Amino acid sequence: MSRPIHAPARLLALLALTLPCAFAAHAADRFEVGAGVSFTRDNEDTPVFAAAWLPEWREYRGGTLRWEIGAMHVRGRSDSHYDNFDDVTVVHAGLRYERPSGLVAGFGAGVQSGKTEALSGDPQFISTFGWRWNRFSLLARHISNASIHQPNDGETMLQAAWRF
């Protein structure tokens, strides 16, 4: 038996499918999608998916500063020893710095939907460090609430991403 899809969910799905197409004509190299694995306490792992819009802001010290507006979805863990069973989606905004050598670093803040011991409340802070080769990136990322709420296990992830 399937559950009905509510109007807000349909609207979000429609926007997710149409906005990239609307921007694609003049926004080459600004959208990034990624997937990987996330770990929390006791190395419990789960898949993670990410999407971001990365418009260029300005040149800075030989690199490029970009705005980062995106979302990350961390799947719940059905076999967790802790309260990490729910899916969590974090919508975030921040800055990303990219060097011509390929170095990538970023920081942002976001709000979440869902709650686990690993991601226990707003705000969430997202840090990124990695390397980029043309359109492909390999990123180490961490999401945490900086001990504003307890527990504060956080999620540490390794993501492969593709820019288009």
pLDDT tens by residue, 100-110:
999 999 999 99
3-state SS record for 113-161: ECCCCCCCCCCEEEEEEEEEECCEEEEEEEEECCCCCCCCCCEEEEEEE
Q: How far apart are CA 62 and CA 33, in angstroms?
A: 25
Per-residue confidence at 3, pLDDT binned at 50, 70, 90? very low
This prediction has a pTM of: 0.81
* Domain extent at residue 151: 30-163
Number of independent structural domains in the chain: 1
Count of residues in the chain: 164
Half-sphere exposure of 114 (CA within 13 A, CB side): 18
CATH of the domain at 87: 2.40.160.20
Q: How far apart are CA 46 and CA 23, in angstroms?
A: 31
Is residue 5 pLDDT above 50, yes or no? no
Residue 3 lies in a domain: no
